[in-house]
Structure 1
Amino acid sequence: MGIAMLTLTAAAPEKTTSATGLRAAVAILDKSGATGEQGEAILRVSHSTYARAKRKDGLAAINLDRDQLTRVSFVLNIHAALRTVFDNPENLYGFMRMPNHNPFFLGRSPLEVMGSGDIVAVYETFRRIDVLRGSQW
Structure 2
Amino acid sequence: MLNLPLPSFDKAAAATGLKAAVTILDKWGASGEQGEAILRVSHSTYARAKKKDVMQAINLDRDQVTRISFILNIHAALRIVFDNPENLYGFMKMINHNPFFAGRSPLEVMGNGDFVSVYETFRRIDSMRGSQW
Same-fold call, TM cutoff 0.5: yes
TM-score, scaled to structure 1: 0.89
Give me the CA root mean square deviation.
Answer: 1.1
- Structure with higher RCO (Cα < 8 A, 6+ apart): 1
* 1:100-115 equivalences in 2 (<5 Å): 100-115=96-111
Counterpart mapping for 1:62-81 below 5 A? 62-81=58-77
The answer to whether residue 91 in structure 2 is matched with residue 95 in structure 1 is: yes
Larger Rg: 2
The answer to whether the 8 A contact 1:18-1:64 is kept is yes
Change (3 A) 1:46 1:58: farther
Given that residues 32 and 94 in structure 1 are in contact (C-alpha distance below 8 angstroms), is that contact kept between their aligned partners in structure 2? Answer: yes
Partners in 1 of 2:7 and 2:71 — Cα distance? 20
Q: What amino acid maps onto 1:87 in structure 2?
A: D
TM-score (norm 2): 0.91
CA distance in 1, matches of 2:79, 2:93: 16
Paired with 1:89 and 1:13, the residues of 2 have a C-alpha distance of 32
Map of 1:6 onto structure 2: none
Q: Does 1:27 align with 2:23?
A: yes
Who is 1:56 aligned against? 52
How many residues are matched? Answer: 126
- Secondary structure of 2:117 counterpart: helix
**What are the ranges of 5 or more consecutive residues in structure 1 without an aligned counterpart?**
1-9
Q: Which runs of 5+ in 2 are unaligned?
A: 1-5
| Aligned partner letter, 1:34 | A
Distance 1:68 1:132 in 2: 24
3-state SS of 2:78 partner: helix
Whether the 8 Å contact between 2:9 and 2:60 is mirrored in structure 1 is no
